[in-house]
């Protein structure tokens, strides 16, 4: 439970964050908050030789490995096997009984839900825009500029305040979860979602491969926590923020998916991931925000604001500064991911300027 003294900071941070989340994601979280999903508990102990098999996408490997290590510390007699696959392959493995869970960095499609797949949201992960440490660019990007770079409409660093030189987009494979997050944002919806001629697309879905391809003129993207501490890469400032700021614009979901009745081993892993042990892992990561802990807060804030009288129109009040130094503030800010439309126009009162500052969600 969040301490009372953090409530005002968390509430403000939520309002700021909700403005920057794409509409499909907003609807998704509200649906989750309004439903009564199955809950799982972390057992005190597990039988000897308990094994959890997980099919995981590359974008979830960082947080997945951290959860695996923490789970193994709590349950030393258990074994967790993680096989890296794209999301479609991971869900296929789950459907065929080859794995107990799928770890994916995107929402399930309507067709996948109809097949009986059930996602348990764990966190939202900030997406960092990155360049090589050898790239001299030291400026600030807007989401519009990054979208234009992606589409090949901006092709030279001088167009965004850098030194003259061609820009090369280093793009992940089409199946990459992080790549699939971008079309959810309005800034990518004004034209066909297609990388421009200035693009080098990776054949292997790998953060290491992307960074190796950046060179002195490349730009790419990755889950923030997976690159933030690396000394061979620089995270690009966007709208004067970095990924540890809740207003850094892009994020993707991280969910564990099961189908039918999960195995006892899978239930234990889901219980661990959604309770104190797993949520400590989320809290320790840069740009990771607990969906589990904050979905209820988002729903409550939405309900409270919707019930307030006179909640009409928008204002041009400046966005208040938010201190993000504490872990609680960072969690509260970052990713309540998905509920902004439901907070009604009152939410925009604290964040109207933010919508103009970061037109992420449409």
The token pair at 47 is: 């039988």
33-37, 63-67, 188-192: least confident range: 33-37
118-152 in b/e form (b: 16+ CB < 10 A) is bbbbbbbbbbbbbbbeebebeeebbbebbbbbbbe
Residue 50 has pLDDT above 90, yes or no: yes
State in words which class domain 126-238 has: alpha beta
77-86, 289-298, 334-343: least confident range: 334-343
pLDDT value for 147? 98
Residue 201 has pLDDT above 50, yes or no: yes
pLDDT value for 73? 96
Question: Which position has the token pair 């104190």?
Answer: 276
Beta pairing class for 237-238 and 199-201 = unpaired
Average pLDDT, the chain: 79
Domain 51-125+252-291 has CATH 3.30.420.40: no
Could you give the residue range(s) of every CATH 3.40.190.10 domain in the chain?
51-125+252-291, 126-238
| Average pLDDT over every residue of 284-312 | 63
| Average pLDDT over every residue of 182-194 | 95
Residue 92 has pLDDT above 60, yes or no: yes
DSSP state letter for 291: H
- Under 8 Å between Cβ of 149 and 219: yes
Residue 68 and residue 215: Cα distance in Å, rounded? 33
pTM: 0.76
Residue 209 has pLDDT above 60, yes or no: yes
């Amino acid at each position: 439970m969040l301490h009372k003294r953090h409530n005002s900071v968390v509430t403000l941070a939520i309002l700021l964050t909700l403005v920057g989340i794409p509409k499909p994601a907003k609807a998704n979280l509200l649906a989750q908050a309004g439903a009564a999903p199955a809950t799982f508990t972390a057992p005190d102990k597990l039988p000897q030789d308990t094994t959890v098999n997980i099919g995981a996408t590359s974008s979830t490997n960082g947080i997945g490995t951290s959860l695996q290590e923490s789970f193994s510390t709590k349950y030393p007699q258990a074994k967790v096997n993680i096989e890296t696959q794209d999301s479609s392959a991971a869900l296929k493995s789950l459907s065929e009984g080859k794995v107990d869970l799928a770890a994916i960095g995107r929402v399930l499609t309507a067709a996948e839900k109809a097949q009986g797949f059930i996602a348990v949201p764990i966190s939202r992960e900030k997406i960092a825009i990155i360049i090589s440490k050898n790239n001299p660019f030291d400026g600030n990007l807007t989401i519009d500029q990054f979208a234009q770079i992606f589409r090949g409409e901006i092709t030279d660093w001088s167009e965004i305040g850098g030194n003259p030189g061609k820009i090369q987009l280093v793009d992940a494979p089409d199946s990459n979860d992080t790549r699939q997050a971008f079309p959810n944002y309005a800034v990518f919806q004004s034209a066909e979602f297609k990388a421009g001629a200035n693009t080098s697309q990776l054949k292997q879905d790998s953060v290491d491969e992307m960074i190796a391809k950046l060179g002195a003129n490349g730009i790419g993207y990755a889950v923030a926590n997976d690159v933030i501490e690396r000394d061979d890469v620089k995270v690009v400032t966007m709208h004067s923020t970095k990924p540890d700021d809740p207003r850094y614009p892009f994020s993707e979901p991280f969910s564990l998916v099961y189908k039918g009745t999960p195995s006892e081993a899978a239930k234990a892993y889901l219980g661990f991931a959604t309770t104190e042990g797993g949520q400590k892992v989320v809290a320790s990561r840069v740009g990771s925000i607990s969906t589990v802990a904050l979905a209820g807060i988002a729903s409550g804030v939405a309900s409270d604001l919707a019930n307030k009288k006179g909640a009409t129109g928008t204002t041009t009040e400046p966005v208040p500064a938010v201190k993000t130094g504490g872990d609680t503030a960072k969690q509260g800010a970052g990713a309540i991911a998905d509920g902004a439309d439901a907070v009604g126009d009152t939410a925009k009162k604290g964040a109207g300027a933010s919508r103009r500052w970061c037109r992420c969600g449409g």
